[in-house]
């Protein structure tokens, strides 16, 4: 029997169509491992024929979960985080979960209240500062979360990052291999693990080869275009043969500054970024950069978060830290220093 015209189909309608009980419909549509593959197939076919959509409210009532994951991001102007959000959305959708983007633009107490108001099952924190108290407070309250891309020292919580120290060393090593010695750098903010670690790695690799950055050849600033543009103009006064930028947005700002001075890349100047955002591969830039695998970071982060959310046996999971390897992506903004 089909539902009456104009009435939304219910799980009872699906149960009758599939020849199973209503509770079996609920379990099958939530991929309960105790439901056989054949039963799951029958239920899904019946649901598709009737146009039945699993109710999130019903899911919440039966599992005490909302099916919503918060993603905390404070830098929506950075294309890197837009790519992260897009990838997280797809990863969560595969598990029939919804993503809610949260920007911490209010006081700490108000933002904490938003996270803990019962509308979220967990959170992915993407733009955390080293001084942030939010992760420690969430850990104290037992709220599931994972740090993605940035981390906090000695945190009792899950983290997934790319090795920023190693990535910056890759960039410095490539410059040295090409023969550069007059090197400049646009470092990121020391208030973030990414800014700190990329500076540490880059300086360390140079120092191990007897090179110390001159004061006129390095700057430290925000991960944004304006800083990259202005910082590069300042560095160019000291005539470096290569510039390392702590992320691709800074590098693109530097790229524009370099072009405004009619300096050819890579013939006159080498430029290397960090992240490998989609813009970096555009024909207008073709930026050589250090790649973070966003897909791998998101996959591991969401897996850890969902494992923590789904832990029902009362045995706590220990904090986990996953560190992924970076790679150097060689495009068209790097080369040996100009002769003479």
Note the pLDDT tens digit of each residue in 37-51.
899 899 989 988 888
The answer on 177 and 34 residing in a single domain is no
Q: Are residues 211 and 307 in the same domain?
A: no
CATH number for position 16:
1.10.260.40
Structurally, the chain folds into a number of domains equal to: 3
- What is the structure's pLDDT at 101? 95
Residue 337 lies in a domain: no
Confidence of residue 113 (pLDDT cuts 50, 70, 90): confident
pLDDT 10s digits, 173-221:
999 999 999 999 999 999 999 999 999 999 999 999 999 999 999 999 9
Please report the pLDDT score of residue 61 as a whole number.
44
For range 7-28, the mean pLDDT: 83
Residue 98 within a domain: yes
Same domain, 251 and 275: yes
- Residue 128: which CATH number? 3.40.50.2300
Considering the entire predicted model, what is its pTM? 0.81
Q: How much is the mean pLDDT over the chain?
A: 90
Residue 94 pLDDT exceeds 80: yes
Q: What is the mean pLDDT of residues 84-95?
A: 93
Q: In this structure, is residue 146 part of a structural domain?
A: yes
Residues 170 and 265 reside in one and the same domain: yes
Mean pLDDT check: name the lowest of 17-31, 77-91, 147-161, 290-304.
17-31
As a whole number of Å, the end-to-end CA separation of the chain is 86
Range of the domain at 264: 164-292
Confidence of residue 114 (pLDDT cuts 50, 70, 90): confident
Does residue 153 share a domain with residue 175? Answer: no
30 part of a folded domain: yes
Same domain, 170 and 286: yes
Residues 235 and 307 in one domain: no
Task: Tell whether 50 and 118 lie within a shared domain.
Answer: no
Q: Do 240 and 288 sit in the same domain of this protein?
A: yes
Rounded to an integer, the average pLDDT of 120-138 is: 93
336 belongs to a structural domain: no
Strand partners, 271: 243
Output 309 or 55, whichever has higher pLDDT.
309
Specify whether 93 is located in the same domain as 181.
no
Question: Does 2 map to a domain?
Answer: no
């Amino acid at each position: 029997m089909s539902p009456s015209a104009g009435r939304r189909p219910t799980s009872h309608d699906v149960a009758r169509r599939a020849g199973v009980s209503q509770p079996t419909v609920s379990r099958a549509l939530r991929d309960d491992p105790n439901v056989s593959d054949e039963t799951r197939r029958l239920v899904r076919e019946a649901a598709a024929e009737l146009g039945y959509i699993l109710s999130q409210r019903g899911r919440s009532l039966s599992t005490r979960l909302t099916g919503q994951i918060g993603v905390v991001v404070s830098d929506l102007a950075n294309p890197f985080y837009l790519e992260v959000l897009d990838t997280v959305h797809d990863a969560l959708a595969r598990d029939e979960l919804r993503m809610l983007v949260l920007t911490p633009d209010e006081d700490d107490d108000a933002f904490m209240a938003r996270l803990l108001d019962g509308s979220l099952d967990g959170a992915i924190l993407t733009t955390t500062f080293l001084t942030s108290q939010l992760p420690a407070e969430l850990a104290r309250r037992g709220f599931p979360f994972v740090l993605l891309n940035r981390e906090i020292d000695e945190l009792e919580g899950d983290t997934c990052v790319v090795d920023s120290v190693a990535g910056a060393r890759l960039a410095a090593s490539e410059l040295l291999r090409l023969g550069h010695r007059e090197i400049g750098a646009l470092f990121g903010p020391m208030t973030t693990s990414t800014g700190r670690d990329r500076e540490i790695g880059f300086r360390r690799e140079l120092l191990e080869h007897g090179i110390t950055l001159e004061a006129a050849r390095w700057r430290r600033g925000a991960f944004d275009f304006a800083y990259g543009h202005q910082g590069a103009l300042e560095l160019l006064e000291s005539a470096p043969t290569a510039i390392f930028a702590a992320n691709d947005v800074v590098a693109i700002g530097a790229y524009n500054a370099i072009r405004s001075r009619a300096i050819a890349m890579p013939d006159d100047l080498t430029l290397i970024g960090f992240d490998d955002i989609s813009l970096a591969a555009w024909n207008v830039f073709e930026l050589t950069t250090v790649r973070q695998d966003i897909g791998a970071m998101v996959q591991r982060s969401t897996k850890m978060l969902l494992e923590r959310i789904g832990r029902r046996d009362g045995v706590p999971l220990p904090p986990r830290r996953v560190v992924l390897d970076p790679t150097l992506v060689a495009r068209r903004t790097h080369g040996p220093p100009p002769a003479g």
